[in-house]
Chains A and B, each alone.
Chain A
Amino acid sequence: MTDARTFSSPLDLQSVRADFPILSRELAGGFPLVYLDSANSSQKPRQVVQAIEDHYLIHNANVARAMHQLGAEATAAYEGGRDKVAAFIGAPSRDEIVFTKNASEALNLAAHTLGASLKPGDVVVVSEMEHHSNIVPWQLACERTGATLKWFGVTEDGRLDLSNIEELLTENTKVVALTWVSNALGTINPITDIAAKAHAVGATVVVDASQAVPQFPVDVSTLGADLLVFTGHKVVGPTGVGVLWGRYELLASLPPFLGGGEMIEVVRMTGSTYAAPPARFEAGTPPIAQAVGLGAAVDYLSGIGMDKIAAHEHAIVEYALEGLKTVPGLKLLGPTDATDHGGAISFALEGVHPHDVSTVLDTRGIAVRAGHHCARPVHERFGMQSSTRASFYLYTTPQEIEALVDGLGFVRSYFKRA
């Protein structure tokens, strides 16, 4: 066993974990589950599952268009989810919250609607550390419009390379789309500084906050973003619901994304007019129960306190980085200290492929992710084909980090022996 080290968190981990029944599961071979894949998808507390169950069993109906009592209850529940999400991220108005099916759809919405006014000569700027979902929609938008895609590189220590920011941000730059926290490197990017520079040249700033909103308090009213996206299932909420937040005036100026029911004002065979945001971007029956679940999820996180969750994440990341540095032959991908480091750490273990690392850990009950984590370009940047990633959340314990470090020792000895 690794020597016990000091660890201090503001959270009562035992009581937090009691809300997540899955964390008490035993896996094959009698190993307790060590879930270190929360950046991929977080676990769900009883409170969220209960809210979804109550909705389906007691209040279920369609929203808005159903005129009966249950329709009113379902509408109130769905719109209540919108209120809760707005409050959770500091949105000045509930009408600035658009529900999508996930963060990818929200980014595609942004790329399609902002892309509608792009033309040849315009520039869209992303970064080399983006998730594929914040690269591909912009590549497609550029292909459609003739605009040019450029990107920030990544420094050797896994930070955004801002040395050529003056070249990237010019009067031709129309959109700057960046991740707040890298899902592969864990890097936390200085969004507010970059947004100020982007606004100075008249560009619109889109922030992928999929790994940020789960981890620390977010206030979109001071961030500097114009559009921001995240997903429900990474904030202890259900799958099937994502969020696009946008400054109201910007949303109001954007064309529709998907056409259908509820996004219209008047439909005539000769042409239609469109509803105001957020309805304009919510065609068809929305993810009703999922929005209710997401509302319960952000209530749950607020009840614990996002500042405490952030402090816990920081402590766990610091503890994990220390522990991982003791594993011989382990190379960290991205920042090696806990400063501005989100709750995901990727690494390579010399001589053992990440899939093999992950499979061996899995047989000891430890769930990690192996592969390129939908961020192939940043792996290529570091000359790696893939990596192993451990990611943490409010329920992660220092004992689980010890299990990971011990498990990696076992992986090494297994493949050495073999």
Chain B
Amino acid sequence: MQLDSLYQEIILDHYRTPHHAGLAEPYDVEVHHVNPSCGDEVTLRVELDGDTVKAVTHDSVGCSISQAATSVMSDLVIGKPVAEGMATYEKFLELMQGRGNVEPDEEVLEDGVAFAGVAQFPARVKCALLGWSAWRDATAQALAANQGVSNA
């Protein structure tokens, strides 16, 4: 188990100075997700502009991996169409569940490739996915709400 493969410099940078941290107005939906087995918590806000992710902000308590993953996730989805963000999540999930046998796609995952080492620490995979699960939930709720408005 290579410690340095887990704690890549990029991860520690995001941990120390997380991007898009601090909950901001305005927003469409706010969610609060927890990892009940360890206690990590993230509060996350999403604002959509049609089908595009306009803003994501978050406030979280947790380990370096969960905080850094939420930071990187925000960078990856902001300004992108929701569908592209969801596709990026699928890529990231595939990497996390790959037990170290999946070659990360840097074109898609950008800083997210730094999490390749996490896949070799099964107990930490859920840390890397917490922010993503919050974003997916908030975005799905925001889309549903917007749908309701446009159908009205």
Binding site for B on A (CB under 8 A): 28-29, 353-356, 359-360, 362-363, 370-372, 376, 379, 385-386, 414-415, 418
Could you tell me the distance in whole angstroms from the C-beta of A351 to the nearest C-beta in chain B? 10
At the interface, yes or no: B1 with Cβ under 8 Å from chain A?
A: yes
Contact B38 A359 (CB under 8 A): no
Cβ–Cβ contact A356 & B38, under 8 A: no
Q: What is the minimal beta-carbon distance from A349 to any residue of chain B, in angstroms?
A: 12
Give the contacting residue for B6; candidates A359, A385, A386; CB below 8 A. Answer: A359
**Which residue in A355, A371, A414 is a CB contact (below 8 Å) of B124?**
A355
Chain A CB within 10 Å, residue with most, of B39, B121, B123: B39
A252 to B65, CA, bound (A): 52
6 closest A-B pairs by beta carbon, nearest first, are A355-B63, A353-B63, A371-B38, A372-B39, A386-B39, A385-B61
Interface size on B, residues (CB 8 A): 22
B151 CB–A CB distance under 8 Å = no
Closest A residue to B121 using CB positions: A359
Please state if B1 and A356 are interface contacts (CB–CB under 8 Å): no
Q: List 16 A-B pairs, Cβ < 8 Å.
A: A29-B1, A354-B63, A355-B40, A355-B63, A355-B65, A356-B63, A359-B121, A359-B123, A371-B37, A371-B38, A376-B39, A379-B39, A385-B39, A385-B41, A414-B7, A418-B7
Asked if A370 and B3 sit within 8 Å, CB to CB, the answer is no
Find the A residue at minimum CB distance from B118. Answer: A359
**Cβ contact within 8 Å between A355 and B38:** yes
Scan B10-38; emit 1 where CB is below 8 A from any A CB, else 0.
00100000000000000000000000011
Chain A neighbourhood of B2, CB < 8 A = 363
* Residues A28 and B3 in contact, CB atoms below 8 Å apart: no
Residue B69 is within 8 A (CB to CB) of chain A in the complex: no
17 additional A-B residue pairs with CB within 8 Å, beyond A363-B3, A371-B39, A386-B39:
A353-B64, A355-B40, A355-B63, A356-B7, A356-B63, A356-B65, A359-B3, A359-B6, A370-B38, A372-B38, A379-B39, A385-B40, A385-B41, A385-B61, A414-B7, A418-B7, A418-B12
Cα distance, A359 to B66, chains bound together (Å): 13
> Once bound together, how far apart are the Cα atoms of A379 and B38, in whole Å?
12
Q: Is B138 an interface residue (CB 8 A)?
A: no
- In contact, B1 and A355 (Cβ under 8 angstroms): no
User: Is B127's beta carbon under 8 Å from chain A?
Assistant: yes
Q: Chain A residue with minimal CB distance to B124? A: A359
The answer to whether B7 and A355 have CB atoms under 8 Å apart is no
> What chain B residues lie within 8 Å of A371 (beta carbons)?
37-39
> Within the assembled complex, what's the spacing in Å between the Cα atoms of A353 and B3?
15
Instruction: Give the Cβ gap from B72 to chain A, nearest Cβ, in Å.
Output: 17
B41: chain A residues within 8 A (beta carbon):
385
Would A362 and B1 count as touching, CB distance under 8 A?
yes
Q: Of A28, A353, A360, A414, which contacts B62 at CB under 8 A?
A: A353
In the complex, B9 has a CB within 8 A of chain A: yes
Cβ–Cβ < 8 Å partners of B123 in chain A = 359
The distance in angstroms between the C-alpha atoms of A354 and B41, with both chains bound, is: 14
State whether B39 touches A360 (Cβ < 8 A).
no
Q: Which of A28, A379, A414 contacts B1 (CB 8 A)?
A: A28
**Cα of A187 to Cα of B12 in the assembled complex, Å:** 35
Kindly state the separation between the CA atoms of A385 and B124 in the bound complex, as whole angstroms: 17
**Complex Cα–Cα for A385 and B61 (A):** 7
Chain B residues, Cβ within 8 Å of A353: 62-64
Question: How many Å lie between the Cα of A418 and that of B7 in the bound state?
Answer: 8
A362 to B127 alpha-carbon distance, docked (Å): 16
Q: Which of A354, A360, A385 contacts B3 (CB 8 A)?
A: A360
Establish whether residues B39 and A356, one from each chain, have CB atoms under 8 Å apart when the complex forms.
no
Q: Are A363 and B1 in contact (CB under 8 A)?
A: yes
Determine which residue in B2, B3, B40, B123 has the highest number of CB atoms from chain A within 10 A of its CB, and name it. B3
Q: In whole angstroms, how far apart are the Cα atoms of A418 and B9 in the complex?
A: 7
Given the complex, which residues of B lie within 8 Å of A355, measured CB to CB? 38, 40, 62-66, 124, 127
Once the chains bind, are A414 and B3 in contact (CB under 8 Å)? yes
Q: Which residues of A contact B63 (CB under 8 A)?
A: 353-356
The complex places the Cα of A341 from the Cα of B35 at a distance, in Å, of 30
B5 to chain A, nearest CB (A): 10
**Minimum distance in angstroms from B130 CB to a CB of chain A:** 11
List the B residue with the shortest CB-CB distance to A370.
B38
Min CB distance B127 to A, Å, is: 6
Contacts of B39 in A (CB 8 A): 371-372, 376, 379, 385-386
What B residues does A386 contact at CB under 8 A?
Answer: 38-40
Nearest CB in chain A to that of B37: its residue = A371
A376 to B63, CA, bound (A): 16
- Chain A proximity of B140: nearest CB distance (Å): 27
Give the chain A neighbours of B124 by CB distance below 8 A.
355, 359
- CA A379 to CA B39, docked complex, whole Å: 10
Binary A-proximity of B102-135 (CB < 8 A = 1, otherwise 0) = 0000000000000000000101100100000000
- Distance in angstroms from B2 CB to nearest chain A CB is 8
B64 adjacent to A356 (CB under 8 Å): yes
Return chain B residues, CB-CB under 8 Å to A379.
Answer: 39
Assembly CA distance A370 to B64 (angstroms): 13
Chain B residue nearest to A29 in the complex (CB): B1
The residue on A at minimum CB distance from B2 is: A363
Cα distance A362–B122 in the bound complex, in angstroms: 12
List residues of chain A with CB within 8 A of the CB of B121. Answer: 359
Chain A: which residue is nearest B123 at the CB level? A359
